[in-house]
């Protein structure tokens, strides 16, 4: 007999997830214009106010190679300031419960993180990265895998001595833009090696959006069979084929509880241009069309897990508002497709909304109610037309935090 209970079919599926935000680092690194320090600080603050507990805010590598992050110390210093700590406290947030990460990649970046920590402004966590495909690893780091592993061992010892955590990334698990896919079992061995040399957790990265749902499920099932502590594993999916949501679902089904995403799905490879000047960036294997590069979209991911009844700890409405503000910051319409409470004048309507309206899935509410909902149970405010509509049987969406939280002060 067919089993209809989704949670029985996938017994490893979590009822609670941790969604880390990497907009300010991975999201902004792909943009060809410099995002002001003030804007970076604003989005980092707002993410924390909306419930984010794991946030990646900068890159401490060579600023000549990554000029988008020439303000790394200023961003970190603000997040460590007494003023920001007090603002968090007024909102009931203990900033010590928020893990702040800076990407380091090479040992000099780790040394810089330690020096900043001595000043009282350093990150809680660093990140270094190996690629399972050797050509990609050399292009990304400038050294061979054996050389890099030795460097990682030294860097992790330094971090441990300084009270810093180190996240070890395993990249190109499902494919590489240079030489193609490697064996999934090799990526599992890379994960084991990171933990053997002292990494605190592992980011499992689909570097170029090559992953397919069956392969994602297979890999994470293999990984959790070998290393069952879900606190060790973070899924990081790029979006180049518009199927990353399927990869997220497959990872959930396999038992993964931690994910990373960016507002609007921004991100991908470091830009080869910044404002009016070429920069080293990604180099020759840079994607020519930036519309097809990005990460899992945080707004869409939040709506997805929220509608599945999976706890996440975010104020969803606040994140949706932040996504609309991001459009203005970057100067273009991002890829977020989650239904929003915006008016047509501030954001183009989601294709999901257009489709559902034309198929008759929406009905009117009482006049001037200001509420609308779709058949999936989504409830927003300020109907995106002159007549408010809802499906009368739809139940209000339950957000993990009150939707009436005040804006940033």
User: What's the rounded mean pLDDT across residues 275-294?
Assistant: 75
User: What's the rounded mean pLDDT across residues 299-315?
Assistant: 96
CA distance 345 to 384: 9
pLDDT at 373 over 70: no
Element (H, E) at 147: helix 145-162
pLDDT at 378 over 50: no
CA distance 343 to 395: 22
Q: Which of 283-292, 309-318, 335-344, 399-408 has the lowest mean pLDDT?
A: 399-408
Query: How confident is the model over 3-36, as pLDDT tens digits?
Result: 999 999 999 999 999 999 999 999 999 999 999 9
Strands 125-131 and 233-237: unpaired
Domain boundaries, the chain: 6-296
pLDDT score recorded for residue 279: 87
Query: How confident is the model over 61-106, as pLDDT tens digits?
Result: 999 989 999 999 999 999 999 999 999 999 999 999 999 999 999 9
3-class SS at 234? strand
pLDDT score recorded for residue 209: 87
pLDDT score recorded for residue 338: 83
> What is the reported pTM?
0.84
User: What phi and psi, each to the nearest 5 degrees, are found at residue 307?
Assistant: -70, -20
Say how many C-beta atoms besides its own lie within 10 A of residue 409's C-beta: 7
In DSSP terms, 373 is beta-bridged to: 379
Query: How confident is the model over 156-193, as pLDDT tens digits?
Result: 999 999 999 999 999 999 988 888 788 999 999 999 99
Tell me: domain 6-296, CATH 3.20.20.70, correct?
yes
pLDDT at 387 over 70: no
């Amino acid at each position: 007999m067919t089993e209809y209970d989704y949670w029985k079919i996938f017994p490893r599926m979590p009822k609670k997830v941790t969604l880390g935000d990497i907009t300010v680092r991975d999201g902004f690194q792909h943009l060809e214009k410099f995002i002001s320090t003030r804007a970076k600080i604003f989005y980092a603050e707002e993410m924390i106010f909306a419930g984010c507990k794991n946030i990646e805010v900068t890159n401490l590598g060579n600023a000549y190679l990554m000029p988008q992050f020439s303000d790394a110390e200023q961003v970190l210093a603000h997040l460590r300031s007494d003023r920001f700590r007090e603002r968090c406290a007024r909102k009931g947030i203990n900033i010590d419960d928020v893990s702040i990460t800076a990407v380091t990649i090479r040992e000099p970046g780790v040394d810089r993180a330690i020096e900043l920590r001595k000043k009282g402004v350093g990150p809680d966590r660093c990140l270094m990265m190996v690629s399972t495909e050797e050509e990609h690893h050399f292009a990304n780091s400038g050294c061979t895998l054996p050389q890099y592993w030795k460097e990682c061992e030294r860097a992790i010892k330094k971090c441990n001595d300084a009270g810093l955590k180190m996240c070890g990334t395993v990249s190109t698990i499902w494919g590489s833009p240079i030489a193609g896919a490697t064996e999934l079992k090799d990526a599992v061995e890379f994960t084991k090696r990171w933990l053997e040399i002292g990494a605190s957790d592992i980011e499992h990265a689909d570097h170029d959006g090559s992953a397919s749902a069956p392969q994602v499920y297979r890999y994470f099932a293999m990984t959790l069979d070998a290393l069952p502590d879900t606190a060790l594993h973070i899924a990081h999916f790029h979006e180049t084929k518009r199927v990353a949501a399927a990869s997220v679902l497959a990872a959930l089904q396999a038992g993964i509880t931690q994910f990373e995403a960016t507002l609007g799905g921004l991100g991908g490879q470091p830009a080869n241009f910044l404002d009016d000047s070429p920069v080293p960036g990604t180099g020759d294997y840079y994607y020519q069309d930036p519309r097809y590069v990005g990460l899992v979209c945080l707004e869409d991911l939040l709506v997805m897990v929220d509608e599945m009844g999976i706890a996440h700890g975010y104020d969803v409405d606040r994140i949706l508002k932040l996504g609309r503000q991001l459009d203005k910051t970057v100067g273009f319409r991002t890829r977020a497709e989650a239904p929003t409470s915006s008016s047509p004048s501030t954001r183009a309507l989601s294709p999901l909304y257009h489709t559902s309206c034309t198929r008759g899935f929406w009905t009117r509410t009482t006049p001037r109610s200001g509420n609308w909902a779709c058949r999936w149970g989504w409830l927003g405010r300020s109907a995106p037309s002159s007549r408010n509509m809802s499906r009368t049987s739809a139940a209000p969406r339950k957000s993990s935090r009150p939707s009436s939280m005040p804006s940033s002060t």
